[in-house]
Amino acid sequence: MPYRRLRFRWYVLAACCAAVALGTGLFGWWQIAQAHSIDADAVRVHGQVTRVPTGLGTYSEVEYTVRGHREQVADLALPADASVGDRVCLEVAVHSPSAARACGERYPRPVGVAMARFALPLSLLVLVLAALRLRRLRRAELALRPARGRRRRRMAA
């Protein structure tokens, strides 16, 4: 079949777009849920920076104490001049101490929400386009197949 390889590529593209849409959507939803839990019952604490980003693939890390429990949060939006050992203000959810964000921020990891706002609609658009293309290829493939069952009779002229 001439369309088999082309169809496979579109299926792969559709599966990748669905995975990106699901992943970014869940990550964005998680960020919003954490922001709501912090907004519901926030307590301000001071944490200590234990790691700062030094290049690609590294992230910031802050340790803090809530209700006598030591917690650690990674990849927060910290001030640009933050260094290891600096104290930073954090807003933490009382009922979920692992949900924390820097004071004055709206979301714990703003990049996650921005990524969901951009990547989710884009990947869904590409997914719909891939599905339409697959439908079109399927129709073209069916049109090229010989009819099964009944044979066509030639009309004598």
Domain boundaries, the chain: 4-144
User: What are the tens digits of pLDDT across the range 52-102?
Assistant: 877 766 678 899 988 888 888 887 877 778 888 899 999 998 888 888 888
pLDDT of residue 153 exceeding 70, the answer is no
Spell out the residues 6+ positions from residue 136 whose beta carbon is closer than 8 angstroms to its own: none
Q: What are phi and psi of 63, to 5 degrees?
A: -105, 140
Side-chain half-sphere exposure of 88, counting CA atoms within 13 A? 32
Q: Strands of 42-51's sheet, edge to edge? A: 69-74, 61-66, 42-51, 87-93, 100-102
Q: Provide the whole-model pTM.
A: 0.66
